């Protein structure tokens, strides 16, 4: 089976102009801080991580006697209010905001996932990433008798890789501590994962051996914080301590912070975190995300110069690179597009009205700024090309003389199996332009690359099109290429991929060979002791 066949398991093709950008799977947060309002701190932490997931949000908290979980579909601000947070006292908490890559958008798949161990302890878990051996783990859970059988009233089936991990972890904790159970389970889990999990007393955090997704440790005056990004530490007033290492498990309780190694580190951090996914005010591997994006823009100006009147970004993600392009080229920077900050992309169904409005619902040109100008339009990436195509048409209607598109990442040509909801190969516009002669891990020859870029340029209607080179993008991160995953650009997957029957967002949905797991979550309408 080819990678093209595998990628056909991804989401359907967008059929309108309101194409969603690449989306991260989740954001995770955890805090151990006796004497602090840990539920509210977690709420603020999730607010800072909202960009990483908008489908659902949840918080688990414990005061030492029980684990309470509250979660629901929606944004963090929609799920929680003052009354709910006030009813969640404790000294340890974890939080999660979700965008799904495995499992449907249902309340049952919202996180934290909860299980009860055989000794009666509560276990709540949140996961950022995507596993590639979910089917294998689910079959193990079935063989152990963790699936099937009647559920208690109100319980339903969850179908995510996170639920599989939680079930196996709770089972392993029957004969040992959760810490020991994690040390047994984590070496068998393959894929990208950053985990926060907890029982009544202890906060845990773990990162996969490749460190694909970011995870950091912070210090409060009276406790500790773990989070997907450093920006979340800033929001809650925690000082950055260090990144949690690939292959590391942390346990945080009254005895302090314990570090355990469950696998040898083989760093392969996702380069797309720098390009788009992470907040610009976060830092990854010691490098400012904002500084990286500005530097990409400068390098892009050097690689693809053009004579023009104005550099404008596609807000907001294209803004730092556009600033860098203007600095590197000497072409003035300006704001040519206004973004509607109140247009969310969660739960908006593409009705005929929205299809007709298209990109105008999100962006509107400043006609007096762009009329009669030769524009350089800087964006972070091109996936399907629908957005850029509609945007260029709108800018021409507003009076732009020329439109030169510059992209702050190389052509996206391969799907992601490690936690980004990229389209299938067949949907990616770069694979529908010219002759697809790509070989995973082998750079395209110059003629084929030129043919592809020209095909994309014609497809979106730009006067010229330039992508930053893979080498230029990586250089801007100030990380060695050997420590980065760039599989969506070069097809070189650092974690081996399974067979067709073992991957896909809906792998566990419809009674496949790895059946759904029964959760013990209580009704979403109220706080509960799961």
- Per the annotation, where are the binding residues for Mg(2+)? 317, 379-380
d(CA 244, CA 221): 20
β pairing state of 248-253 and 223-227:
unpaired
Helices (H), 124-229: 134-143, 161-172, 178-185
Contacts of 137 (CB under 8 A, 6+ apart): 131, 161, 164, 165, 168, 188, 189
User: Where are the strands (E) in 2-121, listed by range?
Assistant: 26-32, 56-62, 67-73, 92-98, 113-116
CA distances from 117 to 185, 249, 252, 297 (A): 15, 20, 20, 51
User: Where are the strands (E) in 208-347, listed by range?
Assistant: 216-220, 223-227, 239-243, 248-253, 256-261, 269-270, 283-284, 287-288, 310-313, 337-339
Binding-site residue positions: 270, 317, 379-380, 416, 485, 488
CB 408: neighbour CB atoms within 10 A? 31
Asked if 138 contacts 181 with a C-beta cutoff of 8 angstroms, the reply is: no
Helices (H), 361-460: 367-370, 386-397, 446-460
CB 82: neighbour CB atoms within 10 A? 9
Contacts of 101 (CB under 8 A, 6+ apart): 25, 130, 419, 420, 421, 505
CA dihedral 234, 236, 242, 245 (to 10 degrees): -120
194 is known as an active-site residue? no
Comparing C-alpha atoms, which of 232, 181, 224 is closest to residue 91?
Answer: 224
Asked if 453 contacts 238 with a C-beta cutoff of 8 angstroms, the reply is: no
β pairing state of 56-62 and 92-98:
antiparallel
Comparing C-alpha atoms, which of 453, 516, 523 is closest to residue 103?
Answer: 516
Phi, psi of 203 (to 5 degrees): -100, 135
Task: Using DSSP, state whether 130 is helix, strand or coil.
Answer: strand
d(CA 64, CA 443): 55
Contacts of 414 (CB under 8 A, 6+ apart): 3, 7, 422, 425, 428, 440, 487, 488, 489, 490, 491
Asked if 29 contacts 127 with a C-beta cutoff of 8 angstroms, the reply is: no
Angle subtended by helix axes 134-143 and 161-172, to nearest 10: 40
- The one catalytic residue among 6, 18, 26, 298: 26
Catalytic residue numbers read: 26
């Amino acid at each position: 089976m080819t990678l093209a066949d595998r990628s056909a398991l991804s989401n359907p093709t967008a059929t309108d102009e309101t194409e969603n950008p690449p989306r991260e799977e989740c954001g995770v947060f955890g805090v151990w801080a006796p004497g602090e309002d840990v539920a509210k701190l977690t709420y603020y932490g999730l607010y800072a991580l909202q960009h990483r997931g908008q489908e659902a949000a949840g918080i688990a908290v414990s005061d030492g006697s029980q684990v309470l979980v509250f979660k629901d579909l929606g944004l963090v601000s929609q799920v929680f209010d003052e009354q709910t947070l006030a009813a969640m006292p404790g000294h340890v908490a974890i939080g999660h905001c979700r965008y799904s890559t495995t499992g449907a958008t249902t309340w049952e798949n919202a996180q934290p996932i909860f299980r009860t161990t055989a000794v009666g302890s509560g276990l709540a878990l949140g996961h950022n990433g995507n596993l590639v051996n979910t089917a294998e783990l689910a079959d193990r859970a079935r063989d152990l008798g963790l699936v099937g059988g009647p559920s208690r009233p109100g319980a339903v089936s969850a179908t995510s890789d996170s639920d599989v991990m939680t079930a196996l972890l709770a089972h392993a904790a029957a004969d040992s501590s959760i810490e020991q159970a994690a040390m047994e389970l984590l070496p068998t889990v393959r894929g990208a994962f950053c985990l926060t999990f907890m029982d009544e007393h202890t906060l845990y955090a773990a990162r996969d051996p490749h460190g694909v997704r970011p995870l950091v440790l912070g210090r409060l005056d009276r406790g500790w914080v773990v989070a997907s990004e450093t920006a979340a530490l800033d929001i809650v007033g925690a000082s950055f301590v260090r990144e949690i290492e690939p292959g590391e498990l942390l346990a945080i309780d009254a005895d302090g912070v314990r570090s355990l190694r469950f696998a040898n580190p083989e760093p392969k951090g996702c380069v797309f975190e720098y390009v788009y996914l992470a907040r610009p005010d976060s830092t990854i591997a010691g490098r400012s995300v904002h500084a990286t994006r500005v530097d990409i823009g400068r390098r892009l100006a050097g690689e693809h110069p053009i004579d023009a009147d104005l550099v404008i970004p596609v807000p907001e993600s294209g803004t730092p690179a556009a600033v860098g392009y203007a600095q590197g080229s000497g072409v003035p920077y300006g704001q040519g597009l206004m973004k509607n900050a109140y247009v969310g992309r969660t739960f908006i169904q593409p009705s005929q009205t929205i299809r007709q409005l298209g990109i105008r619902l999100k962006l509107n040109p400043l006609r007096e700024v762009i009329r009669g100008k030769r524009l350089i339009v800087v964006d972070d990436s091109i996936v399907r090309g629908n957005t850029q195509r509609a945007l260029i048409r709108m800018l021409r209607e507003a009076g732009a003389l020329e439109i030169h598109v510059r992209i702050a990442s190389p052509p996206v040509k391969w799907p992601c199996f490690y936690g980004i909801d990229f389209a299938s190969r067949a949907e990616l516009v770069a694979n529908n332009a010219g002759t697809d002669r790509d070989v995973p891990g082998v750079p395209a020859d110059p003629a084929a690359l030129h043919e592809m870029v020209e095909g994309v340029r014609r497809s979106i209607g730009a006067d010229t099109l330039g992508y930053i080179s893979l080498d230029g993008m990586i250089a801007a991160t100030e990380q060695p290429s050997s420590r980065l995953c760039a599989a969506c650009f070069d097809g070189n997957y650092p974690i081996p991929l399974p067979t067709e029957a073992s991957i896909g967002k809906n792998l566990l949905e419809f009674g496949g060979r790895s059946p759904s797991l029964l959760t013990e979550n209580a009704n979403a309408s109220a706080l509960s002791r799961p």
